[in-house]
Structure 1
Amino acid sequence: MRLLIVEDEEDMREALCYGLRRRGYAVDAAGDGTDAVEQCGINEYDLVVLDLNLPGLDGMEVLKHIRSMENPAKVLILSARSELADKISGLDSGASDYLTKPFHFEELEARIRMLLRRSFIQTEAALTRGGLCLDSNLKTAAFQGKQLEFSMREFAILEYLMIHMGRPVSAEELLEHVWDREADPFSNQVKVYISVIRRKLLAVTDEEIIRSIRGAGYLIDKEEPL
């Protein structure tokens, strides 16, 4: 999933980006409100972590801009403003969640997971199809109980396809949601990663779990009800 971290304190911004990237997220960053608005206009984010005390545009103005978009991202306000009135104002203005500073990174990441599950109509941490099971919390995968070793990027691709089971996902959509803004849209890196994931799946099952749909992308079929 692709996140935007909007935080003017450089050390905090870099620490958040580092920690979330290690958890497998594609992460972009903005140090002021104007930059955040510009990036939201260019890129499609699954979630924005938003500070309120920003140079340029205030965080509440950034939130207003995000809410006005056709497909608005989830917004988690992360702010030192801890008064009840501030929290109510942020939530009433369209924020999905509000976490005050100081905070524990583990709680922040748990809230991000919860909001992303809500975004994609996913109520359980475990994604399953047949013998394949992905744990979105632990970032682990198994087939019929046998652990599978995926890199964070490989897991993120497979997770995105599992969330969208039943419809083709284009390479462009995967680049938009699994890579950050450094991704090269003209490279074949999606194809390469899909090939690696398929090879690892074929080591445990003969089923073609990820199908290529000409002109549409990659598809994991939903299971037929028994």
Structure 2
Amino acid sequence: MRILVAEDEWILADWIAEGLRKFAMAVDVVYDGEAADEHLAVHDYDVLVLDRDLPGVHGDEICRRLALSGADVRIIMLTAAASVRERIEGLGIGADDYLPKPFDFGELAARVQALGRRSLAPVPPVLQRAGIVLDTYRRQASRDGRFVPLSLKEYAVLEVLLRADGAPVSAEKLLEQAWDESADPFTTAVRVVINRLRTKLGDPPCIHTEAGVGYRL
């Protein structure tokens, strides 16, 4: 799942990002509205965690533009304004969810996960294929009843492959969905993680390489 955190309080923004990364999410961080616009134009995000009072371009304006454009990204708006009227306004301009500050991180993470599931093609909370069972709530995997211990990055890549439901996924798509913007597009990181997954998932081989296309589960 690819997330953009747009929050002008640097410490808060970095804290949110670090916490979400522990849920195997790829997270980019910006600290003003102009940077948020630039990132949204380049990357396909599943969820935008948006501070309503961003400097540069106001959060309300970003939210309105996304709603009018029909973008698939889901928006959870953060704000110090907690009145009912202001929450109604935030939802009225296109936000999918609204969370007043201060907030509990566990609640934010749960809301982001819920929005992420809505931003993608509808899928069950448990993904299954080739004897693999992936519990997206507990972030646990098994194959043929055998528990498979996964790193956060291995989990993220396996989830993308399972969501593809047998269709090939390019290395570029895996980088987009499982890594943040710091990932080098020429890196061997995808191949390394795929090889580790193959080893952990065991025989018979279930992740196949299609030359010039990508990887298929």
TM normalised by structure 1 equals 0.90
Contact 1:117/1:124 (<8 A) preserved? no
Task: Give 2:111's aligned residue.
Answer: 111
| Distance in 2 separating the partners of 1:214 and 1:93 | 45
What secondary structure is seen at the aligned counterpart in 1 of 2:82? coil
Task: Deviation per CA, 1:8-64: give whole Å up to 9, x if none.
Answer: 111111110111112211111111111111111122211110010111111011112
Contact preservation (8 Å) 2:50, 2:78: yes
- State how 1:95-134 maps to structure 2 within 5 Å: 95-134=95-134
Question: Partner residue of 2:93?
Answer: 93
The 2-side partners of 1:215 and 1:70 are apart by 32
Question: SS state of the match for residue 5, structure 1?
Answer: strand
Measured in 2, the distance between the counterparts of 1:87 and 1:23 equals: 27
Any stretches of 5+ residues in structure 1 without a counterpart? 221-226
**CA distance 1:219–1:130, shift in 2 (3 Å):** closer
Matches of 1:80 and 1:145 in 2, distance apart? Answer: 47
Contact 2:37 2:62 in 1 (8 A): yes
Q: Calculate the aligned-residue CA RMSD, in Å.
A: 1.6
Unaligned 5+ residue runs, structure 2? none
Corresponding position of 1:218: 215
Q: SS of 1:4's equivalent?
A: strand
Contact 2:46 2:120 in 1 (8 A): no
Shift of 1:131: 2.7
Structure 2 CA distance, aligned partners of 1:168 and 1:123? 18
Aligned to 2:179: 179
Distance, in Å, in 1 between the alignment partners of 2:215 and 2:65 is 32
Verify: 1:81 aligned to 2:78, yes or no.
no
Q: Which runs of 4+ in 1 moved over 6 A?
A: none
Alpha-carbon contact 2:78-2:101 (below 8 Å) kept: yes
Aligned pairs, how many? 217
Alignment of 1:1-226 (within 5 A): 1-69=1-69, 71-202=71-202, 205-206=203-204, 208-220=205-217
Return the TM-score normalized by structure 2. 0.93
- Sequence identity (%): 40
1:144 shift after superposition? 2.8
